[in-house]
Amino acid sequence: MNDFSFKDLKKQIDQWIQLDYIVPEDIPSIELYMDQITTFMEHQLSGNKRRPEDKIMTKTMINNYSKNDLLPPSTKKKYSKDHIILLIYIYYLKNFLSIGDIEQLLKPMTEQHFQSNSSINMATIYEDIFRLEQEYGIKVHESIHEIYEIADTHNKENNDYIKIFSMIVMLSYDIYAKKQLVEKLIDSFFPAPITKAEAKELAKQEAKAKEKNEKKSKK
């Protein structure tokens, strides 16, 4: 361990959890090429990097999201505002959800609201969720400070390692419990996508049923 003490941590918490985010009005309304999107995301969210060399989003990532049906295809290699909003969701969700879970979660969004002209479109949904996140962020900060105080006061020995370890474990438990809840919500409310093997078996069964019906009709 370095010379960083537990008391020093209290001064750093607010700075460390002050995450970069993309406010609704900063999302371009014009269509962008992939290079422009990666530059935009890098500029807007670079403060969230753990290390300077980390990448916020790359061309390979975006292509993989399209291949895995998380992102609708571009139009003549250009991406709309709705594409960018989906990429923002993916950026955050991929930190703790699988590609399959993200696909399930975003599928109703893309089917019902992607490039929609109705009053409930992806831009208005993003604005509403962004506002809720800002309001909830205050409670998140308060809960983290509460965990710090618990780790500080409930350890009888004045041992910085034990206090930091206790705080990390409590924060990890909080993340784990919420991740479990998110997964249960997805499993309960969103239909699981059919795997390639399941689709192949279904097609085989349909072909057999069709063949059987054709034989009956010839009799």
Q: Where does the chain show beta strands of DSSP type E?
A: 32-33, 78-79
Place of tokens 């991406």: 79
Instruction: Give 29's DSSP letter.
Output: S
Residue 198, pLDDT score = 62
Determine the average pLDDT of the residues in 161-177: 94
User: Over 70: is that where the pLDDT of 218 sits?
Assistant: no
Cα–Cα distance, 22 to 89 (Å, whole number): 11
Residue 215, pLDDT score = 67
User: Over 80: is that where the pLDDT of 155 sits?
Assistant: no
Q: What is the phi/psi pair of residue 62, to 5°? A: -60, -40
Cα–Cα distance, 142 to 189 (Å, whole number): 30
User: Over 60: is that where the pLDDT of 81 sits?
Assistant: yes
Residue 203, burial from CB neighbour count under 10 angstroms (0-12, 13-18, 19+): exposed
Residue 173, pLDDT score = 96
Q: CA distances (Å), 35 to each of 30, 90, 172, 188, in order?
A: 14, 18, 35, 38
pLDDT tens-digit map of 96-144? 999 999 999 999 999 999 998 888 899 999 999 999 999 999 999 999 9
pLDDT band at 15 (very low <50, low <70, confident <90, very high): confident
- Record the pTM: 0.83
User: Over 80: is that where the pLDDT of 182 sits?
Assistant: yes
What's the farthest any 2 CA atoms get from each other in the chain? 89
Radius of gyration over alpha carbons of the chain, in Å?
Answer: 23
